[in-house]
Structure 1
Amino acid sequence: GNATLHLYPHFEPLRQIEGVTDYLTTEISTSKQKRFNLVKFIDTPGLVDGDMQYPFDVNRAILWLGDLADLIFVFFDPIGQALCKRTLNIVEELSNDHSEIMRFYLSKADEAGDESDRQRVLMQIVQELCKRPNLNRTGFEMPTIYVPNMNQKGSSCVNQIEEVCQDIEKTINQTIQNTLNSLERDCDQIATLVEEKLQKNMKTSSENLQARFRGASFGLLGVFIPFLMLTTYLISTQQKVMKDILGENILDTLGIYLGPLARGWKAIPVQYSTYILYFIFGFTLIMLLIARYVSRTKLTLSRKEKRHLSEIREFVQNTVKKKKESLYSDYLKQSVADHDL
C-alpha cells in the first residue's frame, strides 16, 4: 500500500479514500517487449451486484483513476457477471468525461463457446450498453481477445489482442509527443512568468522610489513651512530674545529675507496668535501623516531572489529546452528507420 504510493507519488490522492491503501499492490515486469516498460496497467476490482460490500469506496477510486489514465479498458467477461448493473453504471459515468479514451473488449473470448455463442454474447452486451444514452454511440466496437497460451480448448476464435497492443503503442507515441511538446511550452511559460515577475518587480521598485520621493516632499513641507512661520513669529514678537540667541547680524539678515512675513505677524491681533500657533502645529501633523501615507511601499524581491529567478530562466531556456531536442531525436531514432532520418 504505502510502498506503492511512495513508488508512484502521483497516486497519493488515493490515500484520501479511506481503506484503499490497504488493498494497493504493485507488480513490476522487467519485459521491454512492445514498450512494456513504458506502460503502467492499473487493474481495478471486478464489480458485482447484490449485497456485496467493498472495504472502500470502489466507485470513487475508479472514477479518480479514470481521470488519470491515458486509456480505459473495459473487459466484459462472458463467463462472469459482465452485464451487472453496478459495472454498467460506473462505465456510463466514466463515459461522461472520457468516452474518447474508453475501449471495450470481450475478454476470455476463447471460453465463450462456438462462434454462434460468441455472437449471442456480443449482441447481448451491445444491447445492454446501447440502452444507456452515454454508451450508445456511432462506430461502437468490441474486439474479442484472450491470452493465446491459455487457449487450452484450442478455440478457433479470432484473437484481436494484437490490436490492443497497437492501440497501447499508439497512445504511448502520442503521449511522448505531447509530453515533449508540453515540455517546450512549459519552458517558454516558465521563462515568460519569470520575466513578468522581474518586470513587475522593476515597476514596483520604481513606484516605491516615487512613493519615497512624495513622502520626503510632504515631510519637508510639513517641517520647513512651520519652521519658517515659527521663525518669523519669533522675530516679530520676541525680537530681543532672538537677538540674544542668534546675534544681531544673523537677525538682521533674517529680517531682510523674512521681513514681509514678520510684518504679516504684526498685522495679526495678539489674541489670535495662539490660534495661529495651533494651526501651525496642526498643519505640521497633517503634513507628516500625509507624508507617511504617500510613502508606503510595496514588497519587492531581494537581490538573492532576483538572481535565483534569473538562474531559473536561464536553466529552462538553455538546458531543459535544449534537452527536449535531444529527447525528440532519440524518440525519432526509436520510431523510424535510420535511412528516414
Structure 2
Amino acid sequence: MSGKIKSRSAANADSMSGSVSCNERILRDCHQLYTDCDSGLISIAQSVGVSLLAPRKKITVMLMGNHSAGKSSFINWYIEEHIQRTGVAIETQGFSIVTSGRKRESLTGNATLHLYPHFKSLQQFKGVSEYMGTEISTSRQKRFSLVTFVDTPGLVDGDMKYPFDVDQALLWLGELCDLVLVFFDPMGQALCKRTLNIVERLNEAQGDKLRFYLSKADEAGTESDRQRVMMQIVQELCKRPGLNKCGFDMPTIYIPNPNKPSRCVNQVEEVCKTIEKTINQTVQNTLNSLEKDCELIGTAITDTLSADRQAAVSNRSARCKGCVLGLLGAVLPLLLLSVLALGSLSRELLELTLGENNTDTLALYMGPVDKVVNSLSVQSQLYCCGGLVLLSFLLLLLARLSFRTRPTLSGKQKRQLQDRLEYVQEVVKEKKKKLYAEYLRQSVGDHDMD
C-alpha cells in the first residue's frame, strides 16, 4: 500500500515538474529540504543547537520612485495582467505585494503578514499593516512564478503626509529584498529629494541591489529633451557621496504601446534580464548555502558526539576516583578501631605467652615506658581520633563531589544523531549535487559536466 502511495506521489511530482521551470523546481526542492517535517535541515540543526533559515522560493523585487513614475504600469506589463491601478494621481499610498498563485485573490494587511512571516517586522512601523495588501495572480508570464514584486508608495516632496514612516519602511524593505528598481520619470518629479535621500541611504549598505531607470522615456519629448533630463538626474545623483560611482548606467524604458509607436530606444527588456540574472544568482546562492549548512550541521553533530565521548570518559574517571576516596574514607575509622582493639589484645597475648612471673619482670623494666605511653595516649587520644574522623569525613565528601558526572546521550540519541549525520552527508549532499548539475545543464552541454 505504501509503495502505491509513493509511486502515485512521485507521478504527481513529475507531472507538476513539467509545468514549472528548472530554477523554480530547484528553489522549491531546496526549500523542502529545509522545512520537511520529519527530516528537514532546520529540525536537524535545532537538535544540535544550530539555527537555520529556510531559503525563499522566490526573489523579492522592490520598485520605488516618485509618484506616477510607472512602477505599477511596469508590474502590469511584466505579468501581462491589469492587476495594479495606474494613473497620474497617487494611487499607491501603501505597500502592495504582487505574487503568483493558484487563483486570483486580494489579501489585506493581516492576511499578508500571515502569508509572508518575514514581513512581520514591518509592524514596528506604526500604520504600515493597515496600508499593506497582496494581489495574487495566476499569470505565468516571463519569470513571474519566481518573482514577488513589492510596489511602494509614490514619493513626493513638500507637505505630503504619509500614514506611516515611509522612509524607514523603505530602508527596511531594501535590506530584505533581493533587487531594488528605482524609477525616475521625466515629467518634473525626477529630482524628487525624498527619493534621492532614500536612494543615497540605501546605497550605503545595499548598493549592489540598486538599479536605476528613466521610466516613461517616450514622454520626454525629443531626443535632446530626453538627454537633458538624463543629464540632470545623473548630475544630481553624482552630487551625493557614494552614488558617483564609475560606470553609472541608467537605461531608458517605457511600456510599449502598439497604438502609440515611438522612436525612443526602449530598454525595458533589460529590466527583465536583470530580474532573470538575479533569479539565477539566487539559485546559485541557495545551492551554495545548502552545502554550507550541510557542513555546519555535520560539524555540529560530529562535535556533539565527540563531546559526549569525552564526557563518558570523564565520568568513568570520576567514578573511579570517587570509589577510591569513598573506600579510604570508610576504611580509616575501621583502621582506628582495629588499632585500639589490637593494642589491648597484644597485652593479653603477651601475658599468656610469657607467664605471670616473666610478665612481672617485663613490667618492672617496661614500667617507665608504659607510663610515657599511657600519658601520651590520654593527652592525644581524643585529638587523634578526632583527626581521623575529620579526615574520613573529608574523604567521603571528596568522593561525593567526584561522583558528580556530566550528562551524556543515551544510546538511542546517539543512533539518531549518527543517522541524521549520514542523511545529511549522503542524501542531502547528493541531492544538492544533482540540483546543481540540473541548473548548470541549462547553460552547458552534458559533455562539459564531466
Q: TM-score range by the shorter chain?
A: 0.7 to 0.9
2:338 corresponds, among 231, 234, 241, to 231
Q: How does 1:138-177 map to 2 (within 5 A)?
A: 138-149=246-257, 153-177=260-284
- What residue number does 2:391 align with? 283
> Normalising by the residue count of structure 1, what TM-score does the alignment of the two structures yield?
0.84
In structure 2, the CA distance between the partners of 1:56 and 1:272, relative to structure 1 (3 Å rule), is same
**Aligned equivalents of 2:190, 2:212: Cα separation in 1:** 12
In structure 2, the CA distance between the partners of 1:19 and 1:215, relative to structure 1 (3 Å rule), is farther
- What residue number does 1:192 align with? 299
**Aligned equivalents of 2:346, 2:138: Cα separation in 1:** 103
1:292 corresponds, among 400, 406, 418, to 400
Deviation at 1:82, TM superposition (A): 2.7
Deviation at 1:337, TM superposition (A): 6.6
Secondary structure, aligned partner of 1:133: coil
**Aligned equivalents of 2:427, 2:231: Cα separation in 1:** 56
Aligned 8 A contact 1:184 1:321 in 2 = yes
- What residue number does 1:76 align with? 184
Q: How does 1:21-170 map to 2 (within 5 A)?
A: 21-79=129-187, 81-149=189-257, 153-170=260-277
2:309 corresponds, among 194, 202, 205, to 202
- Are positions 1:308 and 2:412 aligned together? no
Aligned residue type for 1:183:
L
- What residue number does 1:257 align with? none
In structure 2, the CA distance between the partners of 1:207 and 1:159, relative to structure 1 (3 Å rule), is same
Aligned 8 A contact 1:219 1:288 in 2 = yes
**Aligned equivalents of 1:56, 1:309: Cα separation in 2:** 49
> Normalising by the residue count of structure 2, what TM-score does the alignment of the two structures yield?
0.65
Query: RMSD in angstroms over aligned alpha carbons?
Result: 2.6
- What residue number does 1:250 align with? none
Map Cα deviations across residues 197-241 of structure 1 (whole Å, 9 max, x no partner).
Answer: 11111111111221122122211111112321232224435899x
Deviation at 1:153, TM superposition (A): 4.4
Question: Could you say which structure has the higher helix fraction?
Answer: 1
Question: Could you say which structure has the higher strand fraction?
Answer: 2
Indicate the percent of aligned positions where both proteins have the same amino acid.
59
Structure 2: gaps (5+ residues): 1-108, 348-369
Deviation at 1:171, TM superposition (A): 1.6
Deviation at 1:68, TM superposition (A): 1.9
Deviation at 1:74, TM superposition (A): 0.9
- Are positions 1:317 and 2:416 aligned together? no
**Aligned equivalents of 1:145, 1:53: Cα separation in 2:** 30
Deviation at 1:267, TM superposition (A): 8.8
Aligned residue type for 1:191:
G
Deviation at 1:8, TM superposition (A): 2.3
In structure 2, the CA distance between the partners of 1:22 and 1:270, relative to structure 1 (3 Å rule), is same
After TM superposition, the structure 1 stretch with the greater mean CA deviation from structure 2, 220-229 or 193-202, is 220-229
In structure 2, the CA distance between the partners of 1:237 and 1:105, relative to structure 1 (3 Å rule), is farther
In structure 2, the CA distance between the partners of 1:186 and 1:92, relative to structure 1 (3 Å rule), is same
Q: How does 1:253-264 map to 2 (within 5 A)?
A: none
Aligned 8 A contact 1:215 1:292 in 2 = yes
**Aligned equivalents of 1:308, 1:16: Cα separation in 2:** 41
Aligned 8 A contact 1:34 1:169 in 2 = no
- What residue number does 1:12 align with? 120
Secondary structure, aligned partner of 1:28: strand
Question: How many pairs does the alignment contain?
Answer: 317
**Aligned equivalents of 1:34, 1:81: Cα separation in 2:** 30
**Aligned equivalents of 2:260, 2:163: Cα separation in 1:** 37
- Are positions 1:326 and 2:426 aligned together? no
Deviation at 1:160, TM superposition (A): 0.4
**Aligned equivalents of 1:97, 1:312: Cα separation in 2:** 38
Aligned residue type for 2:193:
K
